[in-house]
Structure 1
Amino acid sequence: MKTNDYPLTQEEVDRFRSRNYNDDLLPKTQDKRNMGVKNFFTLWMGSVHNIPNYTAVGGFIFLGLSPINVMLAVALSALFVSAFMIFNGKAGSKYGIPFAMHLRSTYGDLGAKLPGFLRGGVAAIAWFGLQNYTGSLALLVIIGKIWPGFLAIGGGTEILGIGIPGLISFTIFWALNVLIGLGGGGILNKFTAVLSPLIYVVIGGMAVWALRAAGGIGPILAYNISDATSSINPIWAYLIIFNSVIAVWAAPGASVSDFTQNAVSTKAQMVGQTLSLMVAYLMFAFSSVVILIGGSIHYGIQEWNILNLIERWDSFPAVILAMSVFLLTTISTNATGNIIPAGYQLTALFPKHLNYRSGVLIASVISFLIMPWKLMANADSIFIFLNAIGAVLGPVAGVMIANYFFVQKENIDLDALYMDVDKDNAGNPYHGVNKAAYIATIIALVLSLSGQFIPALKGISDISWFVGFATGFGIYLLLPKATSKAVTTKQVENQ
């Protein structure tokens, strides 16, 4: 892959700003890009070692694979994730553009609004609220262990359908997440730089504990689950694990340009993200299986919720430290995958009225008002809704990558992309809706969701992200793309 970056000048940025674009949507010149290999290396560490990911590994064990095969499948998943992140992040690192403009280069200025809203305005805000609530439950445990009387505040009285201690815990944790979101990439870089070494220490310590508690690595690798799905084809089990892992990255991977636009170079984001995800998943693959199985052996139960295992520990300081690290990883995941994209997307939808910070505040308030604790009370409707939102992101990513690499040939005409919003843009190739992109996305979305409604196609549900991505990618390349070819030609002529 070529990594020669576009030599953006301040004169170009000033010209685009005069066309009524705020600073959050403008491309970044080299002097404003501050994320090197080290920054990208630490960026995703917290997003890998989070509570839902550890719980998912318990589900992988139930597929019937041996523990060593679960480790191998999870580790190999990093290859798919890192490839997805660096390829879809190249437009951002080459041109310094955020996801909103990367999306516009694929779907058109009007066409980008729907997938952008689904990514940043719906999925991100909903997940931000839900992850805040999940994290607040862990915070509630910590507060309760330090101050047991806290759990009795209000005597069972509920406000908005939640107990007073729970509401206080949620508000505190929500506020912490909002502060990180307001700080944007700069604060997040510092936060992840401190968090990543702490993760290594705590997770490494937990793995050592689990090995000792289980009597060594032998009993862990020999562990069998009696009610596992032993009849499943091992190759299919591997594909299910690959799909589950990469599906976690469907949202941040689609909007990864919001981070790669800050890369000092395309090479830096490629090397940094690859090392980050490979190292993180190698450690995660080993530690998750060892901790969950080792703890289950030690306590004589099958326990796949890592927080429940931590609560059983006798050491109070160890419980507080481990729970705190998982809380911090939730904040990191929430920032990178939810509130930062939400802030940028609301800015893109209302560029004359909002900037990044006001977008973050609006998204944060909405995430509180939707009362995620009530959404959590009906798990089926939540996951049907969120899975539907997530399913569209596989096709979107497939179309975006197909468009950038095979239609545009890695060339974007910035002057056309940052069109004058107050003029007639009828002749602009990025104006309106890219119908081919929409057709490919819709067909791929229908196919990726078909397993939910057609029993004969149930298997598609297990690999829905891959189906959606591949279908969107393939169909888009087969459809007429005269508009995109015109963009490529114009860009080449300008260079």
Structure 2
Amino acid sequence: MKLVNPSPSLHNEDLAPAAERKWGAFSIFNVWTSDVHSLWGYYLAASLFLLCGSFINFVIAIGIGSMVIFFLMSLVGNAGVRTGVPFPVLARASFGTFGANAPALIRAVVACFWYGAQTAAAAGALVALLIRSPALLEFHQTSTFMGHSSLMFICFLVVWGAQLLIIQNGMETVRKFQDWAGPAVWIVMLVLAVYLVIKAGTFSFGSEIPQDVLIAATAGAGVTALPGSFAALMAVAATWITYFAALYLNFCDFSRYAKDEESLRRGNLWGLPVNLLAFCLVAGVTTTAAYTVYGEVLLHPEAISAKFDSLFLAILAALTFAVATLGINVVANFVSAAFDFSNVFPSKISFKGGGYIAALISLALFPWSPWETGAANFVNFIGSTMGPIFGIMMVDYYLIRKSQIDVNALYQEHGEFRFQNGWHVKAFIALGVGIIFSSILPTFTNVLPAWWGTYGWFFGVGIGGAVYYALRQGQAKV
């Protein structure tokens, strides 16, 4: 689409509607292999698998959760295909031309935090491999830099730099990286799973793990109900859906490059319900086989690879987990933050510039490593506001505007989406009400039942979206 006299304060080449649509179903599929196949994703998938209690329960809980994810991603993905714009630009339709910077910066804060956390996780996988050498183990234990192991810092820098190289030539380089990394990670994961199952001599689903050991090992997943119970299955499905909260907002950053909606649908179908079920199954089976072999519940894959007798397999696993984590960092964190920061000052910050800002922030955070402290609770609190944002944007696009947006007006400072001096007050009222129920009350008070927090994102979507719809009822353009 050719824009007519876009305002410089709202437009640059990267934020403009996608001119080239080269992403087919395979590339969309690999967005999801890159997003899911990471160290954090493996940990959550393995935990939720074990908490299901049986294979049938796993298919029900993870299957239902994955179908909901497919539906929600299709909503925002189709909007991206039809408009060709990234998330912060699409947000202008509901939050205003300048008000859209608020949800964009919320997303960017979360992206920067997890950019650093994922980089540290990938660096940790490399450290686990390198300390198999006695000399490097001694170096790791005795040399420190800024309060951390010098070896860890060196590996962090290596991974950090590798991610910058991936995005040097923009989104097309991201696509090519995904198309290579996604299948490669899958192949290696299957090799490792088969290796451990053969070594264990059995194919199981975790029933042999004592329940007290299982509950203690999976406590970080946030599911407090007894494994296999109905409450646990509900929480497993909700946790799996909520894990993708950030991508519900900015998946249009990728879908805007899809050839058409059919390519998007096929890519999402194979990349979400099919791929998610398969990934969780492989992660769970690998973890249970590792328990039989090593006598421990090893939910972190780098901990499993560190125990391999075969140096070749250990190297293969470490490099695979590092590449997989690079994938999710590029997809879930780098690209989003790049567009989000660019949206604040389009005339001064390009896509690359926004990405470099995110990378530098993550590097600056390393000495404090807030992802290893209670700061994670703060970021999760900020992240929970993504529920109301998603609800408001989807209600605006599908219910208020009936999927019809004047894309050119999204780039006009004094156009349709100016609202109140560039800010849409009704959207921010709805956002505030949604945040109260998705974040503030469940985090800081005991007013709501204990289980509410598990479903906080859902309440945020529903309440934020409903309040916005009520305020906008009968008003399609103001």
Global fold match (TM > 0.5): yes
Amino acid at match of 2:451: G
Correspondence for 1:206: 192
Alpha-carbon distance between aligned partners in 2 of 1:431 and 1:463, rounded to the nearest angstrom = 35
Correspondence for 2:128: 141
Correspondence for 1:453: 444
Alpha-carbon distance between aligned partners in 1 of 2:246 and 2:435, rounded to the nearest angstrom = 15
Question: Given that residues 337 and 358 in structure 2 are in contact (C-alpha distance below 8 angstroms), is that contact kept between their aligned partners in structure 1?
Answer: yes
Question: Given that residues 54 and 306 in structure 1 are in contact (C-alpha distance below 8 angstroms), is that contact kept between their aligned partners in structure 2?
Answer: yes
Correspondence for 2:15: 25
Alpha-carbon distance between aligned partners in 2 of 1:156 and 1:233, rounded to the nearest angstrom = 45
Correspondence for 2:334: 339
Amino acid at match of 1:86: S
Question: Residues 300-319 of structure 1 correspond to what in structure 2 (within 5 A)?
Answer: 300-319=295-314
Question: Given that residues 341 and 349 in structure 2 are in contact (C-alpha distance below 8 angstroms), is that contact kept between their aligned partners in structure 1?
Answer: yes
Structure 1 residue 110: deviation in Å? 2.3
Correspondence for 2:246: 251
Amino acid at match of 1:463: Y
Does 2:239 align with 1:276?
Answer: no
Amino acid at match of 2:168: L
Question: Residues 56-71 of structure 1 correspond to what in structure 2 (within 5 A)?
Answer: 56-60=44-48, 63=51, 65-71=53-59
User: Would the alpha carbon gap of residues 58 and 45 (structure 1) be closer, same or farther in structure 2, given more than 3 Å must change?
Assistant: closer
Greater shift, 341-350 or 445-454, is seen at: 445-454
Question: Residues 120-131 of structure 1 correspond to what in structure 2 (within 5 A)?
Answer: 120=108, 122-131=109-118
Structure 1 residue 319: deviation in Å? 1.1
Structure 1 residue 202: deviation in Å? 1.4
Question: Given that residues 71 and 289 in structure 1 are in contact (C-alpha distance below 8 angstroms), is that contact kept between their aligned partners in structure 2?
Answer: no
Correspondence for 1:369: 364
Greater shift, 54-63 or 237-246, is seen at: 54-63
Out of 187, 208, 223, the position equivalent to 1:223 is 208
Amino acid at match of 1:486: K
TM-score normalized with structure 2 length: 0.90
- Residue 486 of structure 1 aligns to a residue whose secondary structure is coil
Once the two structures are superposed, residues 97-132 of structure 1 have per-residue CA deviations (whole angstroms, 9 ceiling, x without a partner) of 111110111111122111110102x11111111111
Does 2:477 align with 1:486?
Answer: yes
Question: Given that residues 339 and 360 in structure 1 are in contact (C-alpha distance below 8 angstroms), is that contact kept between their aligned partners in structure 2?
Answer: yes
Alpha-carbon distance between aligned partners in 2 of 1:452 and 1:20, rounded to the nearest angstrom = 35
Correspondence for 2:219: none
Alpha-carbon distance between aligned partners in 2 of 1:434 and 1:294, rounded to the nearest angstrom = 54
Correspondence for 1:164: 150
- Residue 15 of structure 1 aligns to a residue whose secondary structure is coil
Structure 1 residue 159: deviation in Å? 2.5
- Residue 13 of structure 2 aligns to a residue whose secondary structure is coil
Greater shift, 102-111 or 174-183, is seen at: 174-183
Correspondence for 1:296: 291
Correspondence for 1:77: 65
Alpha-carbon distance between aligned partners in 2 of 1:19 and 1:309, rounded to the nearest angstrom = 50
Alpha-carbon distance between aligned partners in 2 of 1:203 and 1:193, rounded to the nearest angstrom = 16
**Aligned-residue CA RMSD in angstroms?**
2.4
Structure 1 residue 72: deviation in Å? 3.8
Does 2:97 align with 1:105?
Answer: no
Alpha-carbon distance between aligned partners in 2 of 1:464 and 1:451, rounded to the nearest angstrom = 8
Correspondence for 1:132: 119
Structure 1 residue 153: deviation in Å? 4.2
Question: Given that residues 18 and 85 in structure 2 are in contact (C-alpha distance below 8 angstroms), is that contact kept between their aligned partners in structure 1?
Answer: yes
Alpha-carbon distance between aligned partners in 2 of 1:238 and 1:172, rounded to the nearest angstrom = 40
Alpha-carbon distance between aligned partners in 1 of 2:456 and 2:188, rounded to the nearest angstrom = 34
Once the two structures are superposed, residues 396-424 of structure 1 have per-residue CA deviations (whole angstroms, 9 ceiling, x without a partner) of 111111110000100111232210x4xx5
Alpha-carbon distance between aligned partners in 2 of 1:469 and 1:101, rounded to the nearest angstrom = 20
Correspondence for 1:403: 396
Question: Given that residues 97 and 418 in structure 2 are in contact (C-alpha distance below 8 angstroms), is that contact kept between their aligned partners in structure 1?
Answer: no
Alpha-carbon distance between aligned partners in 1 of 2:192 and 2:44, rounded to the nearest angstrom = 18
Question: Given that residues 177 and 335 in structure 1 are in contact (C-alpha distance below 8 angstroms), is that contact kept between their aligned partners in structure 2?
Answer: yes
User: Unaligned stretches of 5+ in structure 2?
Assistant: 216-223
Question: Given that residues 71 and 286 in structure 1 are in contact (C-alpha distance below 8 angstroms), is that contact kept between their aligned partners in structure 2?
Answer: no
Question: Given that residues 81 and 246 in structure 1 are in contact (C-alpha distance below 8 angstroms), is that contact kept between their aligned partners in structure 2?
Answer: yes
User: Would the alpha carbon gap of residues 246 and 220 (structure 1) be closer, same or farther in structure 2, given more than 3 Å must change?
Assistant: closer
Alpha-carbon distance between aligned partners in 1 of 2:7 and 2:42, rounded to the nearest angstrom = 45
Structure 1 residue 68: deviation in Å? 4.2
Structure 1 residue 347: deviation in Å? 0.7
Question: Given that residues 153 and 165 in structure 1 are in contact (C-alpha distance below 8 angstroms), is that contact kept between their aligned partners in structure 2?
Answer: yes
Once the two structures are superposed, residues 58-111 of structure 1 have per-residue CA deviations (whole angstroms, 9 ceiling, x without a partner) of 543564633542354223321111111110122211011111110111111122
User: Unaligned stretches of 5+ in structure 1?
Assistant: 1-7, 488-495
Work out the number of aligned pairs and report it.
466
Correspondence for 1:3: none
Out of 409, 432, 435, the position equivalent to 2:425 is 435
Correspondence for 2:232: 237
Greater shift, 279-288 or 165-174, is seen at: 279-288
Correspondence for 2:220: none
Once the two structures are superposed, residues 156-189 of structure 1 have per-residue CA deviations (whole angstroms, 9 ceiling, x without a partner) of 3432222322211111111011222334321121
- Residue 179 of structure 1 aligns to a residue whose secondary structure is helix
Alpha-carbon distance between aligned partners in 1 of 2:77 and 2:170, rounded to the nearest angstrom = 18
Question: Residues 318-397 of structure 1 correspond to what in structure 2 (within 5 A)?
Answer: 318-371=313-366, 374-378=369-373, 381-397=374-390
Structure 1 residue 444: deviation in Å? 1.5
User: Would the alpha carbon gap of residues 42 and 62 (structure 1) be closer, same or farther in structure 2, given more than 3 Å must change?
Assistant: closer
Out of 441, 461, 464, the position equivalent to 1:469 is 461
- Residue 44 of structure 1 aligns to a residue whose secondary structure is helix
Structure 1 residue 144: deviation in Å? 3.1
Once the two structures are superposed, residues 186-235 of structure 1 have per-residue CA deviations (whole angstroms, 9 ceiling, x without a partner) of 11211111122222221212222333234333x43643432146757833
Correspondence for 1:96: 84
